[in-house]
Amino acid sequence: MILKILGTLDILAAFFLWASHMFPIIPQQILIFAVFYLIIKGVMFLSLGNFISALDIISGIIIYFSLIYSLPGFVIFLVAVFLIQKGIISWIS
């Protein structure tokens, strides 16, 4: 059950990242929540030995940089696709 919740939050983080890039009307507080969520989740699972969770930390950092700088669209797309596929895998497992 917890994996499905975390997967849903990954997909929502990807959606809000993409939406804030395409339509800059998304409140920054939502993206800041996504940054903290991904970094905390990444550190938590990384400490359990899941090294792929380091990519969650990197995704959180990239989302943070997207708040400060205008990142290229392909970077936003790659992070969003990564988070969506991680969310879908969480739903399946």
pLDDT bin (cut points 50, 70, 90) of residue 21 is confident
Chain-centre distance of CA 63, in angstroms? 7
Q: Which amino acid, one-letter code, is at 76?
A: I
pLDDT > 90? residue 49: no
Share of the chain above pLDDT 70, in %: 100
Question: What pLDDT score does 24 carry?
Answer: 80
Alpha helices in the chain (DSSP H): 2-22, 28-47, 54-68, 73-92
* Mean pLDDT of the region 7-17: 91
Which of 29, 56, 58 lies closest to 41 in space, CA to CA?
A: 56
Which of 17, 1, 5, 2 lies closest to 82 in space, CA to CA?
A: 17
pLDDT > 90? residue 32: yes
Domain layout of the chain by residue ranges: 2-92
